[in-house]
Amino acid sequence: MAVLATIKSLILLGVLYPRFYELFYMFYHVFRVLLVEITTFMINRDLYRKLLEWKKSERRKPLILRGARQVGKTHLLKQFAESQYSSFVYLNFENDPALEDFFQGKLEPKKMIDKLSIYFEKKILPQETLLFFDEIQACPNALKSLKYFHEEANEFHLVSAGSLLGVKLGRSSPFPVGKVNFFDLYPLHFCEFLEAMGHKQLREYLDFKKDFLALENPFHEKLLELLKQYYFVGGMPEAVVSFQKNQDFNEVRNIQNEILLGYQNDFSKYTTPLIAIKISGIWNSIPSQLARENKKFKFSEIKKSARSREYQEALQWLIDSGLVNPSYKINKMELPLSGFRELEHFKIYFLDTGLLSAVLGLNAKTILKRSEVFLQYKGAFTENFVAQELKTFLQKELYYWSHENQAEVDFIVSREEKILPLEIKAGTQVKSKSLFKLQKKFQLPRVYISSLLNFKESERVSYLPLYAVKKF
């Protein structure tokens, strides 16, 4: 009945106002375009569920969302604010330096809220309004104020983010530990990429798989094809959105190059000229060092006279900014693994495999068709991909095992008081003398191998495909 009444009303309006249909169609078309744009560019991030839990938690404190530049922190928090709160107030301390004036003198949250309400002409209400402090590292007093928001005004919900916040916190924290909640955001992992590409059911099928029985071959082959796409596109949100919309690899590469240029600009913008040169030296040497069979990072590859102590500050800057994921050698298979790491022996992986492909200058055909050129770098891509996945899901320091330069296992993980070794194979040849040597030496009940092969399990070895390494 309601639909019929609506149709009659539209007909009557068309009779009374001849231009009504023309205007109606114009507005309908605009609305439809906007709707398509909104749904096309919507990328679901797994971290959104944690934000919902944070909002409802009795332990909720002001939230700091950490992550490298361009991984989608601002977009995710704005999406969360718009869908979960009646209103939100957005402060960007880089774009509007005048905001710093509200954080001078004694930091009294309720007085600051009153002033911000006037400045933004918007009532800030407890639990109903989300305060969002973006690029918070640009205003040390705003960072410091989070302590007082927790202690004196925790009824107000507050989130914050910053592109180089890790660098700021890595040097000195202006507030005591325990007064804030921390979340970390990384580039889209492979399963998020699957969903963004319209394969939500395939992602769910993979997510809910609990055994090591082989997948049906059509699913396995489809996932391998999508994995190759991910090697090129990676997980930087802007690149994923572009590929989602246009399926244009060239446009993806242009976006990746712009992101890389932005990172290079950050090196000189936020550090001294000398440190910037050293950061660039490390950054530019990573792809070639990963391409070697022995992927241990060597400062001498930057320049022959380089010494590690000269580059420590530059390396730490890259780690704190979230642009690289280090993996440290351990010399014993005992818990905690961190107690047996050798800080002078490590590998360095890019935060995003797609950016690695851009730095190497590999085109889409090279990767998707797995040409001879790609084969030179397949080990680098595969290990970098796995490091990226493990960092995202475990959110722990990465480790590998090596013994007298004669045996090496790519990743060692601890979970539920167990030590789990993982060997990575870029193709379908899965023999690993190093892995079985480690298993025998330390009497490990189970080891894992990840490759392009399907799921499989034997008495002491579990085989999982690279696209499912998150299940490790």
Assigned domain for 28 exists = no
pTM across the whole model: 0.88
pLDDT of residue 366: 85
- Give pLDDT tens digits for 8-27: 555 555 555 555 545 544 44
Assigned domain for 41 exists = no
pLDDT of residue 34: 38
Contact 189, 393 (CB under 8 A): yes
Alpha-carbon span 178 to 158, nearest angstrom: 15
Whether residue 236 is found in the same domain as residue 316: yes
DSSP letter (8 states) at residue 78: H
CATH of the domain at 102: 3.40.50.300
Assigned domain for 454 exists = yes
Contact 62, 180 (CB under 8 A): yes
Whether residue 446 is found in the same domain as residue 362: yes
Q: Which is it for strands 181-184 and 63-66: parallel, antiparallel or unpaired? A: parallel
Torsion of CA 370, 221, 185, 39, to 10 degrees: 110
Contact 137, 68 (CB under 8 A): no
Domain count, the chain: 2
Whether residue 387 is found in the same domain as residue 243: yes
Q: Comparing C-alpha atoms, which of 286, 271, 254 is closest to residue 384?
A: 286
Q: Which residue, 131, 158, 184, sits at the end of a domain?
A: 184
Whether residue 451 is found in the same domain as residue 330: yes
- Give pLDDT tens digits for 310-359: 999 999 999 999 999 999 999 889 999 999 999 999 999 999 999 999 99
Alpha-carbon span 137 to 156, nearest angstrom: 21
Residues near 93 by beta carbon (within 8 Å), at least 6 away in sequence: 99, 100, 133, 134, 135, 136, 137, 138, 139, 142
Whether residue 322 is found in the same domain as residue 466: yes
- Give pLDDT tens digits for 63-113: 999 999 999 999 999 999 999 999 999 999 999 999 999 999 999 999 999
Alpha-carbon span 375 to 172, nearest angstrom: 44
Assigned domain for 390 exists = yes
Assigned domain for 42 exists = no
Whether residue 206 is found in the same domain as residue 172: no
Assigned domain for 37 exists = no
Q: Comparing C-alpha atoms, which of 200, 209, 202, 136 is closest to residue 173?
A: 136
**Cis amide prior to 336 (ω within 30 degrees):** yes
Contact 196, 229 (CB under 8 A): no
Question: At residue 284, does pLDDT exceed 70?
Answer: yes
pLDDT of residue 17: 56
Ramachandran region, residue 104 (left: φ > 0; alpha: ψ -120 to 50; beta: rest): beta
pLDDT of residue 159: 98
Q: Which residue, 160, 184, 208, sits at the end of a domain?
A: 184
Select the more confidently predicted residue: 78 or 30. 78
Distances (CA, A) of 195 to 79, 370, 401, 466: 17, 24, 34, 17
Whether residue 409 is found in the same domain as residue 294: yes
Sign of CA dihedral 81, 82, 86, 88: positive
- Give pLDDT tens digits for 300-309: 999 888 888 8
Whether residue 171 is found in the same domain as residue 219: no
Whether residue 258 is found in the same domain as residue 342: yes
Which strands, in side-by-side order, build the sheet including 181-184? 87-92, 129-134, 157-161, 63-66, 181-184
Residues near 367 by beta carbon (within 8 Å), at least 6 away in sequence: 228, 231, 232, 357, 374, 381
Q: Which domain holds residue 60?
A: 49-184
Whether residue 142 is found in the same domain as residue 238: no
Alpha-carbon span 168 to 371, nearest angstrom: 43
- Give pLDDT tens digits for 421-466: 999 998 898 888 999 899 998 999 999 999 999 999 998 999 999 9
CA atoms within 13 A on the CB side of 50: 14
Residue 45: which pLDDT band, with cuts at 50, 70 and 90?
A: very high
pLDDT of residue 24: 45
Q: What is the mean pLDDT of the chain?
A: 89
Contact 122, 113 (CB under 8 A): no
Assigned domain for 384 exists = yes
Alpha-carbon span 237 to 314, nearest angstrom: 27
- Give pLDDT tens digits for 119-176: 999 999 999 999 999 999 999 999 999 999 999 999 999 999 988 877 766 565 566 6
Q: Which residue, 184, 210, 241, sits at the end of a domain?
A: 184
- The amino acid at 3: V
Q: Comparing C-alpha atoms, which of 119, 126, 64, 122 is closest to residue 96?
A: 119
- The amino acid at 126: P
Q: Which uninterrupted H or E stretch holds 169? A: helix 165-171
Whether residue 155 is found in the same domain as residue 243: no
Whether residue 254 is found in the same domain as residue 388: yes
- Give pLDDT tens digits for 172-189: 556 667 899 999 999 999
